[in-house]
Structure 1
Amino acid sequence: MTTAAMQSPPNERLSRASIAATNFGFLWTEGLGEGLGRIAQAGITRTELMVSLPHVDLRQSRSKLAHDINDATRRNGLALTSLNPVDMNLVSANGAIAEESLEQLLLTIDLAEDVGAPIVVVVPGKYSALVPMNEQHALETFRRSVEIMLPRAAERGIKLAFENVPFGFLESPNGLWTELKSYETDLIGLTVDAANLHFAGQDFRTEIEAVQKHILIVHISDTDRSRFKHGHIGEGDVDFAEVASALKAVEYLGDIVYELATPGVDWARWQQDLLRLRQLGWA
């Protein structure tokens, strides 16, 4: 099937949430340009870029990094939905790691401006599984980071989309928004991750209804509740029809990022996944 045949008509795309892809699954198996080319060939026009070695090294000069990313996306006709830096922990009990995470996020905000990505995904942090940080201290550390990131985001014209992650700290979208709403700015919103919600035992529809006005981006992939993963559809027991129904009920029309995170992409299976997602009503 040709790219043109797989794309939805323009008027249809305006009325439906659109599927985007990510480089997460081919970080270590394919070059950025090559992998983005495969995404484009499937009729996808938007992508979230994981800010991670070997595709993105924030230690490079800012201008060279932006040039390389812009070249890879433009050659493949792709627009960036967002940048998503990996392995950040703003509430690490090791202060140096928390500070470096904040610095990496600030650099990502700068890069987002350079490459035309309107959103930076922010993981709020994760607790140690053995000796978690005192909650009040974690919240104070998190708030300090947000207050440092916000002026940079405002200067660059970038929105911060805080993501629910099942790592102990502010795990649910509603809990995240309860903490963030006091900032009263449209520069702050949420990334809602369906697999993370499912693994944490939370109800997708309930959470979506509670934060519907604040969702900037949605991540989908499959997992079960015994082993955390972001796998192909069918590798877990996420109810994708329920996810689609809940998003339709709140009239969400933003990007749906298929966030496959595997050690290499089975592209034939990935194509089948896209077909199933389109059958659920996503463009």
Structure 2
Amino acid sequence: MKFGASSWPFQWDPPYEDCIRRVAGLGFKSIELIGWNKTYLTEYYTPTKIKELKACLQSEGIAISQFVSTPHDLSSADAGKRAAAVEHWKRTVEVGAELGSELINMVSCHPFAMKDAVEIPRITTKPLVQTFATRGVPRNVDWDKNYNDYVESLKKCAQHCADAGVTLTIEPHPARYLANTDGALRLLEHVGSSAMGINFDPSHTFPVGDFPDIAVYRLGKHIKHLHVSDNDGVTNVHWRPGEGKIDWLAMFQALKDVGYDGTISMELEDVPGVSRGPNSDSPGVYRNITATDEFVAETVAGANYLKDICKQVGITVE
């Protein structure tokens, strides 16, 4: 295995060259880059910028483990919006493949393209409110058809990946069509593409009822990439590993047992000093344009904690 890091907790908004240098300088072997929406994919990730980013990655000796962008309308009831979302994904694949990423990642969608903090409450607010409930959920609609429409959209997305010689990694998230291990296995079965796998994030599945080690055993070869952070088991806050309730020793033993040998990507979104750009509407107490040294210390400490666990279970780290 090798350790990497997500770029956005270090630097939410572009440019990303300094972030690449910073992550490489900490000894990480890979980094994830992101296109927050269609505008980023066209206006920031231009052919010239892609060449510059590739040159920066090469000069720093660091690989790109995933390229990330999520078209949320893949589950819309509107066929035109679903088609536009597939085009968004097609552009994501083009950018990611050109950057040299073998994995192209998206987060699973809510039914009917519902949004966090609109129809669906953010799970991070769960301990803070008296009533934790949805708003304006569609009524008198065909839920089975919506799931099937989402599956058909994902089939097209997976095909774009197959055509480009890359793999779609879909990420579970609380309350979405893929929220837990069973949702992942069902979706994989329905899409039925060898070009689709899972970006496993225990901080998303643990608070909705899955034990991470059991999830790893059940998902097995379908896990293509890992996001790692810890949490309280109630929300999906992303703390430093070792500071929450996840049993990392059991999870990494499971990873060894199933033969996972990919990237362990640090994604600490809720620790002191983390970056949240001026264009971010994501939740979080800490909101810095660029991550501080305190955040760097948290990330390094978390990685070292997990590297020690790797030694305990006999996992070789590059």
User: TM-score scaled by structure 2?
Assistant: 0.74
Cα displacement (A) at 1:168 = 3.1
Residue-pair matches, total = 266
1:225 aligned residue: 233
Alignment check: 8 A CA contact 2:208 2:234 kept: no
SS of residue matched to 2:153? helix
1:187 aligns to what? 195
- The CA deviation string for residues 101-124 of structure 1, in whole angstroms up to 9 with x for no partner, is 333221111112211100111222
Q: Is the 8 A contact 2:71 2:86 kept in 1?
A: no
Matched, 1:237 2:245: yes
Pick aligned residue for 1:270 from 295, 299, 303? 299
In structure 2, stretches of 5+ residues that fail to align are: 115-119, 121-134, 276-290
What secondary structure sits across from 2:200 in the alignment? strand
1:111 aligned to 2:130?
A: no
Aligned residue for 1:14? none
Instruction: Say yes or no: does 1:171 pair with 2:179.
Output: yes
Q: Is the Cα–Cα contact under 8 Å of residues 223 and 235 in structure 1 kept in the other structure?
A: yes
Q: Aligned partners of 2:146 and 2:6: how far apart in 1?
A: 30
CA distance in 1, matches of 2:304, 2:172: 27
Alpha-carbon separation, structure 1, partners of 2:71 and 2:168: 17
Q: Secondary structure at the match of 1:276?
A: helix
- C-alpha displacement at 1:74, in angstroms? 1.9
> In the alignment, which residue of structure 1 is the partner of 2:105?
121
| Cα pair distance change 1:143/1:30, threshold 3 Å | closer
Deviations 1:252-283 (A, max 9, x none): 11111112224423112221112111111162
Decide whether aligned partners of structure 1 residues 77 and 227 sit closer, same or farther in structure 2, where only a CA change above 3 A counts. same
Q: Secondary structure at the match of 1:170?
A: coil
Contact 2:31 2:62 in 1 (8 A): yes
> RMSD over aligned Cα, in angstroms?
2.6
Which residue number in structure 2 is paired with residue 44 of structure 1?
A: 28
Partners of 2:164 and 2:304 lie apart in 1 by 36
Residue 156 of structure 1: aligned partner: 164
Aligned residue for 1:244, secondary structure, equals: helix
Q: Residues 26 and 246 from structure 1, CA distance in 2 versus in 1: closer, same or farther, beyond 3 angstroms? A: same
The aligned amino acid for 2:215 is E
User: SS at the partner of 1:228?
Assistant: coil
Alignment gaps of 5+ in structure 1: 1-16
Q: Determine helix, strand or coil for the equivalent of 1:190.
A: strand
Deviation (angstroms), 1:25: 0.2
Q: TM-score, normalised by structure 1?
A: 0.83
